[in-house]
Structure 1
Amino acid sequence: MVQSEQGKYRAGTARGIYLGLREQIATGVYAPGDRLPSTRALAEELGVSRTTVTTAFDQLISEGYVLVRQGAKAVVAGNIASSEAAPSPTTGAPSRPLSAYAVRAMEMPVHIPVAAGGLKYDFRYGDVAPDDFPRLAWRKAMTAAIFARRERLGYGHPAGSLALRQALQGYLWRARGIRCEADQIIVVNGSQQALDLCARVLVDPPGKVLIEEPCYAMARNVFAALGAELTPAPCDADGIDTGRLPAPHGYSLAVVTPSHQFPLGGVLSAGRRRALIEWAEAANALVVEDDYDGEYRYDVRPIPPLYLSGHGRVIYIGTVSKTLSPTLRLGYLVLPEALVEPFVRCKQIADRHSATFEQDALASLIESGAYERHVRKMRRMNAERRTAFLDAMAEYFGARVEIVGTSAGLHVVVWFSDFAAQDEERLAATAREAGIGIYPISRLFSLATERRAGFVFGYASMPARIIPDGVRLLAKTLPR
């Protein structure tokens, strides 16, 4: 009787018969050269149609397990080793060792987001409210992109669609004061791919990379997985502390968030900007500027990008993840001209190009003015959310907390004077049991420090009206 593999497939199906025979061949029940039962006999034994058995045999023949000759029964192929174990769709580790890159990646803390799991109040940074997405405008733009007449559907340019790069060229000048050519812009799958390309194009392991401390964990992971030697540079209320930079020797890159340091929220002062560029020049290094939420300034005028004063040594990264949605995976790089061709070649190797219809839709939104109208609307709405959060924290926590990074972005850091850093994970677990998501800042530090407990609070994913309720419940939940 033909048995199905590990009982997962019914023997009465073609799939089950195929798997059962394949396992018996691989484990030596049928040796090379042995004749198999006829399709008619096997169909009668199993109580199935002959067509079902023939389908199973056809699959075995196509995979080289079975040979057939005119007028003779099917036999097991002679090149099948009897000791070969049948492959299982559900079990088995790779027989070869992982690459050094994969080993390093596997050793890192997991940053794969999980579903909220019923959290009524989730202050996770990076999420945006689903109702904020401009559904009608995006649907109209996508429909136009899909139905636009094309001579053919083929691979696009690795740098991205010319229409989007030209639209971004104008947008960057209007919104961030950046003057560049469209050819200097490369469209990527979010800022994460931008960072990955910077690592692959510009760093030879174990090259040195300067990173902020604390910093965006996925940025650190990009360079650590590559095998770079990372040097954490302490940050304070004014961003990266350029007075504590290491000697400028052997560095390939410095990766910074000067307009709104992640996560502490500091803005890099003019003096520190000059000092950082001078350090990069002395090191013959490049500076990667991640302007992840530059559109959101509330109490002050927009901060000019470091790119403007970078003497051609700054790579600028922008994204629509915070203005539209992280689900779109659309971002862009602005590169010094000498780096354009290497980045284009490596982008093509990585994934050929980013999704074309989405690029065309975004280009349409920018060209029509709809994107900038949406950004202004989101700035107003998130300012309301920020105010609701800060007012509620003042009411329910008062002097127990210190809040930093409030002038920009979609998150703040809250320091709790009642608790120590080692309490963060316990407090987060307690809050989660009550239906509240709060996220320890310790996960963003690479070095252990003695400090108060701190949490990164994102406020862009919830309606402003329910934020005070979440803060009130948190105050009741956390022990005094």
Structure 2
Amino acid sequence: MISARPQRARDIYAALKAQIGTGVYRPDAALPSTRTLAAELGVSRTTVTAAYEQLHSEGFITGRQGARARVAAMPAAAKPETPDDGVNAARPALSRFGERIAAMALPARPPGSAGLVADFRYGDLASTDFPADIWKRAVAMAASRRPQRLSYDAPAGAEELRQALQGYLWRARSLRCEMEQIVIVNGSQQGLDLCARLLLEPGESFVVEDPCYGMARQVFAAAGGVAIPVEADQDGLRTDRLASLSARLAYVTPSHQYPLGGVMPVARRLELLAWARRCGACIVEDDYDSEYRYDIAPVPPLHALAEGSEIIYLGTVSKALSPTIRLGYLVLPPTLAPIFTTAKALADRHAPGLEQQALTILLESGAYERHIRRSRRRNAERRATLLAALSRRLGDRIVVSGADAGLHVVLWFRDVAAADEAKFIAQGRARGIGVYPIGPLYMSPNTAARPDMAGLVIGYASVEPQEIERGVAILAELVEAFSRAP
């Protein structure tokens, strides 16, 4: 019998189902009458009847009016699982794609910021920088534009948004394209996934910068691609290393290499394009934080130089507005746009409509670009505070790279060995600062491409100037402690 005193039909249903599954009630065994069980449990007969009806509708019990319900006869394989069955049960067979996913581990989510003096995590933005009032008004305006009927949207994205992006990309990035070449995606990660699944066959090679954005490398590997790491330096991808290589695809961040921060000069860009044409490769250009330039003028994307013939341009609003607004966009060669649109439709039909309309309003009104200018000024202040504090407190004990653009810098510590990177970070958190290693962004931790020094990726877009000052002071104390350690 049921030992607890459940008060709801759901509780009674769950208890009886579990007892059927464990054999307390065997096939063809009679269950208590609804009147008897209701009296025993101190609930209404209606409550028990509702539980029995649910069990009957799922096929666990049989019965007819005027007769007691009985447990249905079921083959052994069809019996409900006991609580322990799920622990030891064999995993269903996976596809090769599924097996590759099972063998992967996503980058661990860093611990929270609670209790930290400063958290220099890259990718986070300051909540105070988000244009909350402007966004609320745009969402309200979008919601007021009620369609005549509710229906699925165009898989390539709302036409109004694609038109607005076409104009914005020409104004902001000197990128010419037709609206039909733009496909709206749920953030840059979905754009990368579409590229991987549509452009790579299992076993085919792809070129990737070393170090690089780990989630990009993983998405291509999940599709079965074989990574060819090519060293990146202060000028981005070492294109002189491509001459003897052949690949189906290359993933690059030429306008601001992640994480080292280099901007690829025009000679390397031309060399990369020539290589792609020679071996028939497609280039995926990730322009992830193109809005932020400080000591250098905006650099036109690779797409503008090549007129898009073999370039897939990937952009996002994650660094301009918020990572929580899952909107990005692909600018595709005309021959690929319909294929990507079909794949997008099969994946999720379309991106969220309300957010698309709100972003369209911001782009059409000029509010988006005004917001970017404000964000650029605020982040320029944070950057200046960070660089000044690093220079004042650490001087020539560190090497700073990637400071001309973006929302992070890379720090190399002359007094801390690469092998001590993890220990250095752990002690930093113990002292109240969140700092994050560059090591996992290299394909091989022992590659000759990286210096034999501990390296940190220091994001500053979510840290206020006073927090930056305190955080760098603690960082300097930590470096001093490491330099004195035997």
Instruction: Give the TM-score, by structure 2 length.
Output: 0.94
Q: How far apart, CA to CA, are the structure 1 residues paired with 2:321 and 2:122?
A: 15
Q: How far apart, CA to CA, are the structure 1 residues paired with 2:134 and 2:78?
A: 61
1:417-442 per-position Cα deviation (integer Å, ceiling 9, x unaligned): 01111111111111111221111000
Structure 1 counterpart of 2:328, from 318, 328, 331? 331
Q: How far apart, CA to CA, are the structure 2 residues paired with 1:125 and 1:34?
A: 62
Structure 2 counterpart of 1:308, from 304, 317, 321? 304
- Tell me if the contact between 1:25 and 1:82 (Cα under 8 Å) persists in the aligned partners: no
Residue identity opposite 2:343 in structure 1: C
Q: How far apart, CA to CA, are the structure 2 residues paired with 1:30 and 1:82?
A: 17
Q: Which residue of 2 aligns with 1:7?
A: none
Residue identity opposite 1:152 in structure 2: R
Q: Which residue of 2 aligns with 1:129?
A: 126
Q: Which residue of 1 aligns with 2:356?
A: 359
Bigger mean CA offset, 349-358 vs 309-318: 309-318
Within 5 Å, give how 1:22-101 maps onto structure 2. 22-79=17-74, 81=76, 84-86=79-81, 88=83, 92=87, 95-101=91-97
Q: Which residue of 2 aligns with 1:410?
A: 407
Q: Which residue of 1 aligns with 2:453?
A: 452
Bigger mean CA offset, 262-271 vs 47-56: 47-56
Q: Which residue of 2 aligns with 1:2?
A: 2
1:276 aligns with 2:277: no
- Tell me if the contact between 2:398 and 2:413 (Cα under 8 Å) persists in the aligned partners: yes
1:470 aligns with 2:471: yes
For residue 225 of structure 1, report the CA deviation from its aligned partner.
1.4
Equivalent residue of 2:399, what SS? Answer: strand
**CA spacing shift, 1:83–1:409, aligned 2, 3 Å:** closer
For residue 69 of structure 1, report the CA deviation from its aligned partner.
0.7
Q: How far apart, CA to CA, are the structure 2 residues paired with 1:64 and 1:366?
A: 55
For residue 3 of structure 1, report the CA deviation from its aligned partner.
4.3
Equivalent residue of 2:336, what SS? Answer: helix
For residue 48 of structure 1, report the CA deviation from its aligned partner.
2.4
Q: Which residue of 1 aligns with 2:167?
A: 170
Unaligned runs of 5+ in 2: none
Unaligned runs of 5+ in 1: 5-9
**CA spacing shift, 1:82–1:223, aligned 2, 3 Å:** closer
Q: How far apart, CA to CA, are the structure 1 residues paired with 2:3 and 2:478?
A: 56
Q: How far apart, CA to CA, are the structure 2 residues paired with 1:423 and 1:328?
A: 37
Bigger mean CA offset, 240-249 vs 265-274: 240-249
For residue 128 of structure 1, report the CA deviation from its aligned partner.
0.4
**CA spacing shift, 1:347–1:89, aligned 2, 3 Å:** farther
Q: How far apart, CA to CA, are the structure 1 residues paired with 2:78 and 2:147?
A: 55
Residue identity opposite 2:138 in structure 1: A
Residue identity opposite 1:434 in structure 2: R
Q: Which residue of 1 aligns with 2:109?
A: 113
**CA spacing shift, 1:30–1:422, aligned 2, 3 Å:** same
1:274-319 per-position Cα deviation (integer Å, ceiling 9, x unaligned): 1111111111011000000111110111011000122511110111
- Tell me if the contact between 2:22 and 2:82 (Cα under 8 Å) persists in the aligned partners: no
For residue 368 of structure 1, report the CA deviation from its aligned partner.
0.2
Q: Which residue of 2 aligns with 1:223?
A: 220
For residue 198 of structure 1, report the CA deviation from its aligned partner.
0.5
Within 5 Å, give how 1:225-304 maps onto structure 2. 225-245=222-242, 247-249=244-246, 251-304=247-300
**CA spacing shift, 1:292–1:94, aligned 2, 3 Å:** farther
For residue 88 of structure 1, report the CA deviation from its aligned partner.
4.3
Instruction: Give the TM-score, by structure 1 length.
Output: 0.95
Q: How far apart, CA to CA, are the structure 2 residues paired with 1:321 and 1:87?
A: 44
